[in-house]
Amino acid sequence: MWKTLGGFWAQTSPISYILAEKTAHIHCAAVDVAFLRRPFLVVPQQDAPARDERPKVSLKSTINDYSDQELEALILWLQSDGILRSDDEIIASILPELGFKRRGARIVARLADVIARCRKSGLVT
């Protein structure tokens, strides 16, 4: 079944599509197959694995206000769903949890340092 979402088409089925509205498409009888006349990206829908309970880390105004233990706890919580992530993916996922909207150099350097220590100690793979 196809639905319109703000000028884009999205298919609700085992496979998700986000397509430009003007993209010509033929939807087959099989719900999880679509043929397009343009290149496209197909992202299988996955049930997000459950994470452990989020650590009780309050929002702070700067990255230096967070202790290493608080940052490590958030990183371990993020990784508790079992999904492998690169350092950049971990940083991108942790930024909103810390309340930061921008990816500043000090923030990235501090998080990269904590991630490297977690990897070195074997806490994060």
* pTM for this model (two decimals): 0.60
Q: Nearest-CA neighbor of 124 among 79, 93, 89, 92?
A: 79
**pLDDT value, residue 5:** 44
CA distance 90 to 3: 32
CA distance 41 to 86: 21
Percent of the chain with pLDDT strictly greater than 70: 62
Interval 46-90: pLDDT, tens? 666 788 888 999 999 999 999 999 999 999 999 998 889 999 999
